[in-house]
Structure 1
Amino acid sequence: MLSSLNIPKKLAVAFIAINLSAAVMMLVFATNIAMISRSTERTNFHQDIHSKALSLETQILRQNSQMRGYLVTGDDVYLKSYYEGRDEYDATSAELEKILTNPEMRQKLLESRTETLKWREDWGDKSIAMVKEGRRAEAAERVRDAGKAALVSAAVLPLRDLRDYEQAQLQEESSGQSSAITTAWIALAIGGLALIGIAVALQRKLSRDIAVPVGDLTETMSALAAGRNDVSVPGTERVDELGNMARAVLVFRDEAVAKVAADKDREAAMAEIGSKLHDLSQSDLRARLDNLPDAFATVARDFNDALDQLSGVMLSVRGSINSISTGSSEIRQATTDLSNRSEEQAARLQSSAAAMDEITRKIGESAGIASQASRAMTEARGEAEQGGEVVQRAIEAMNGIDQATREIAEIITVIDGIAFQTNLLALNAGVEAARAGDAGKGFAVVASEVRALAQRAADAASDVKSRILAATDHVTSGVELVNDTGGSLTRIIERVSSVSESIENMAKTAEQQSTGLLKVNEAITAMDSMTQQNAAMVEETTAATEMLAREAQQLFEAFSIFKVDDGAPVPMRATAPTPLPAPRARSAPKPAAAPPVMGNLAVQANADDWSEF
């Protein structure tokens, strides 16, 4: 069966067989492990019930012993342990009732709980209550007299039945678990041996179907590589990959045999081709391939066609060489004339550039002078404005003096009125003193002095008033003069501002003209540079043309050695090379005088100066 399959299918069958064996063994193991797991779960379940039943029995005995200890000693420590045992019994009993699934065992649990609650009501709690009431001796006597009636045997015996049942279940589960483990070991041994046997059988089968034929094919290919083309190729009848390899090796053997025959034809062809190539190396284009094996007929035809085409091309090249020589002579003469004109034009353009540079420099200096004048007028306008501000403050001060003088005149008028009133009062006081007689003489003297003082004050006030009025007239005249001065300064400032704006506009115009001339100068300089480069390029073109003529002559001389079908080549007429003009060293021309400038500062140049450019 495996012999009719290819190698991948053989390997696939082998791996599938091994995998199926492993899968069967794993399935048996999984079944045993599941059985062991279920047995372990049931064992744990019964173990839990058994331990809880034992705990209930322990708690019942604990309540009985702690109650009796409390009756004997009256110590509250026994009472606390009694209550803890009672609470733990109730909690454990409730948990055990939830997990029990056997109705008979649940009935045992309920029977034990009923007897426990009955004992607790009749003996435990009741005896503890009697001790708390102070009747400890009576309670102890009551328990001693009761005998077996006060024992907890009725509550403990159902729990022992429950423990015995769970112990039997544990033994049964342990026996099942041991059986499952034994089965697992048996399955491991049988499955392992079966898996090893299948692997060994498949290994021998695959080695016989794959490894041995591969070794035979390897020996056959080694013999072919050593040049033994008469060996037989085994396994060509196989239908798998090794059969394909064997048939491919058979093809290689047949091709090696054919290659030997082809090598002989190739050697003969190479000898003939070498002979014709030797003729070609001697510049004989008349060589042709005529005696080649049939396998190289295409090569002979292509070789002969190539030489025919090459002969035609060489004939065409011969005519092209004469044309190139004639054309290069004409180009050489034209480039020589162009070089002379370009050098002359470059010299003129360089002179124009120097003149334009001088004009630009002069315009720049004029722009700088205009800028300085503009800054001077700006400073003068600022100083005039500051002087106008000073005059304005002087006018304000003179106005303040005029106002203060008028106020002082008014105050003096008030003082004059006060002196008049004082004089009048002194006169009245003198009259009253004269009426008083001798008693008023002293008062009359004082009144006379007061009147004299009032008169002097009135005279002084009148004098001061007249002087202040005169000063007021002078101040008024000064205020008017200062106002006139302020008006004159304002007009001067306006005129200075107008002149400053005009000069500033002139400076900006001069700067713009200078910038424009700089751009024109840069353009002319660039044109001069390009003209110089063009002149150099023309000289290089002339040299290249001369070199082209020489190369054409050399090409013709080299071509003359070839032998073509139409006989010997006609020698080309050699043209004498025209000597190249020696490049003239151009020194920088002296700055020319600035040409006349009008309007937009454009240079008036003759049209003839640019006609040849």
Structure 2
Amino acid sequence: MLEMINNWRLEKKLVVAFTVIGLLMAGVAGAGIYVMSELGAIATRHVERGVAGTETLGRLMSHLREHRIIVISQLTPTNDGDRQKYVDRYAANKEAIKKAVADYEPLAGEFLPELKAIDADIAKLEDVNEQVFKLTLSQGMAVALPYSKSEGKDASSTVLKQAEALIALQQKRSTAANDAGQAFASKAFWAVLILSAMGLLALAAIWKLIVKTVSSPLTDVSKATSVLAAGGTAEVPHRNRADELGEVAKAVELFRVAAVERAEADRVAAEAQRIVTSTLRDGLSSLSQGDLTAQIKADYPADYAELKTNFNEALSSLRGLIGSVSESAIAIRTGSGEIAQASEDLARRTEANAASLEETSAAVTQMDGRLKATADAANRTVVRADGAISTVEGGRTIADEAVQAMARVADGAKGIDSVIEGLDKIAFQTRVLAMNAAVEAGRAGEAGRGFAVVADLVSALAMRSEEEAARARDQLTATQTDIVSAVEMVQKVDGALANISGDVAEVHSLLGQMAADNQAQSTAISQISVAIGTMDQSTQQNAAMVEQTSAAARNLTSEVATLAEQAAKFDVGAAAAPRSFRPAAPQPRTKSAGYTSPVKPLPVSISAQAEDDWASF
């Protein structure tokens, strides 16, 4: 193999050598460009289809839950203005759901069938919700509420479960994309490293081959020529080679044979040989030390002009290749540095989003606690209202008993009136009898005088009895009038107690509804808090994965910098020297501004979360 290479022309040797070097450098540059392109594409897909997709689906879940809250809340409006507010909120939330679905459609990819299924179920949910609104308006809460708890709850639960399943698929896809990016970055790193090592080994092998096939034979021929030029005798080596060195060796041998006849020609040839060999030796010596700018500037004889041209062109080609390698390494290092910087910026933004989500979760938890406290207070008020209703009912019972007792007193008064009337009649008859007795005593004369006195006394007593009976009748009449007034007053009190009982019952119903609504809102906010916590955890995981990508990009930058330093050992001159490059130092991680929650923290006993299931709502 080496014998065949020795027989190649010097031009062919240099062309083959630099062609191999060019192919290796082109492979390294192509691999670097491909790696940069793929890493950029992976990062773009991760941001667009990972973070953006998760955020859009989370927004869709929030609007779906808000839909359910609006439908339940509109069942108990106090007036037409409140009902219209719920209708307007429902229409706005409906448009927000459509926008979330439309925003996620370009990001869905292979999840487009699942998104279409969710969209179809959302349409069914809209039909059910509109039916609830119609029932509320036409037949009231008594009909709309059971329909909402059955059909509305089932439709809402179906959509929410499908949305949660799609979020899980989205997170799996984001994780898979990140894993694929990390695997590709690792493979690309080793591929570039292997190609770089192969390039350096190829350069060393080519250099050694050039030294062995060109530089060393030239040195041997130069030594033989020097001996012959000094008038000595020497065996000219490499005469059997078919390249330029073989021709030179053969020419030297001819010079040695014809030394006497061609002394002058030998002198001229020796001088030319000296110039050629010395300049070539200097050039190759500089080349062996890595100086690719050491071109041959001396004037060569016409026979060696081609050798000078070939040497200088080969040196220029090698200089261009080394410069291209340096430029490619700089480009790769710059790109990887930018990727690392972008990944760090993305990590900081992701951490800031995670902090905001955490604060939002705390605020929602406090809202949940306040709603639960309000619900508890409403429940206690309902209990007090029950006690008030019982008290009013007891008062009505006592009033009924008082009316009955007064009726009995009135009946007794009527009996007393009849007794008084009987006494009055007896007194009248007694007075008549006394008058008759007085008449009879007058007739009796002196003998009836005493009887007449008694008759007068009896008559006076009868008159007094009539007067007392009249007074008793007047007093009884006044008493009966007072009893009738008292009965009317007690009946009025009973009517007032009945009105109070009805009002307290209505207050009891309203408070019960308020307690139920507050409990439902508390349950919904608890689920929202859980969802926000899940989003916070996913955002933290995304931040960790972005930091890993940034670390991989920095490692790639370090390895490419090593390749550039190896290529920089070759001196390619000021015109072709690669521009200086300093790896971009990663910016320090600045602590994001803290988020101040507008909600005042609740006591621990109130802010404890209840692990309620959203399906129960």
Range of TM-score over shorter length: 0.3 to 0.5
Q: TM-score, normalised by structure 1?
A: 0.34
Greater relative contact order (CA < 8 Å, ≥ 6 in sequence)? 2
Q: TM-score, normalised by structure 2?
A: 0.34
Question: Is the radius of gyration larger for structure 1 or structure 2?
Answer: 1
